[in-house]
Structure 1
């Protein structure tokens, strides 16, 4: 990884920049589902350990970030809406005793793509999980390439991505990082690029038995 980048815990002074990065990364996401400055301030208040930012040490700019909260997961009833899981983006439903880390958001500013910054953020998340002794990480992945294959059912599309027959800009990357697909969530959020679908993915902490 380039030495010019460093993962740190995000701070209130970064909140406005984090909101800029969110808007730049998710141009198709519904306006009321975008994270704003007030949301990032709430994240830092309710669960500061779970909020990461990547700093460009040459410029002092924040280049990317991730937001997480702790919760318990019922894998037999995993269907949910994104805004319910993150309490309307405020993360105030964070459970300090939750056994799983839930990925609310990860974003790298378009100007900084190609530097491997998402890998830095995922490593920070997994390090946090190990440090806290959690069972693992879950998230609703956005299959952002699905809009180019709407002739397929979402189930067919995800199967082809899993088999390596198609590449999805989000899901394919997460699968390479050791995540597994647990199921598909209709009406997860409002974003035409993924047909409003989410793909529920799971990374299990290898240091802890499930």
Structure 2
């Protein structure tokens, strides 16, 4: 199992953080964090429920990770193992994650697929998402996997959808002409673009699009 203690910074002040695997006792707080992190118009049926979380810790506990700040649960990231064919990248979030239940987890898969990441709003200035993503990179290296992969929402796209295609929007974000809350964050975490995927998730802000992004194991895998 995984546990790492380090410091993050609130301005100039060091703050103790613990990154670890989550368990059943964390479920109520994990659900509360989802509700705070993804308010409407994000579909409430996409928030975690106890059945999904139970599958996470039973089927692939190594990919069920949370972060604490001063003993308070501040965020989580969830992943499963799968196979990925770069020649056929299009898929939906529901297909890739079994609608968040990860019953399609493949123990011998070589791609670590990000099901979800969320940080409690009051902690977002601490860059905890970077810690959680780093935990997946460490798992990828530890287990000799090929990559971390996942679809990044494009919540800023709805403001530009009448004048830019999804691909043009992504290109503008990568060129630094526009900023997107999710895509820009993932770029800072070291993820690189694979392809734009239509109809990835029911998400009005992203107009259904996502940018598939990966982090390749620098040691092979």
TM-score, with normalisation over the residues of structure 2?
A: 0.90
Q: Is residue 148 from structure 1 mapped to residue 146 from structure 2 by the alignment?
A: no
Deviation of 1:99 (Å): 0.4
Matches within 5 A, 1:75-114: 75-114=86-125
Name the structure where strand makes up a greater proportion of residues.
2
Q: Kindly report structure 1 stretches of 4+ aligned residues shifted beyond 6 Å.
A: none
1:167 is paired with a residue of what secondary structure?
coil
Give 5+ residue unaligned stretches, structure 2: 1-7, 9-13
Q: Which residue number in structure 2 is paired with residue 115 of structure 1?
A: 126
Distance 1:75 1:158 in 2: 19
Helix, strand or coil for the counterpart of 1:22?
A: helix
- Relative to its length, the structure with more helix (as a share) is 1
The 8 Å contact of residues 15 and 38 in structure 1, kept in 2 or not, is answered as no
Q: Give the corresponding residue for 2:138.
A: 127
Shift of 1:88: 1.7
Q: Distance in 2 between matches of 1:110 and 1:136?
A: 28
Rounded to whole Å, the distance in 2 between the matches of 1:24 and 1:76 is 37
Q: RMSD of aligned C-alpha atoms?
A: 1.2
Give matches, 1:1-210, under 5 Å: 1=8, 2-27=14-39, 28-56=41-69, 58=70, 60-150=71-161, 151-208=163-220
Unaligned runs of 5+ in 1: none
Normalising by structure 1, we get a TM-score of 0.94
Q: Report the 3-state secondary structure (helix = DSSP H, G, I; strand = E; otherwise coil) of the residue aligned with 1:202.
A: strand
Q: CA deviation at 1:40?
A: 1.2
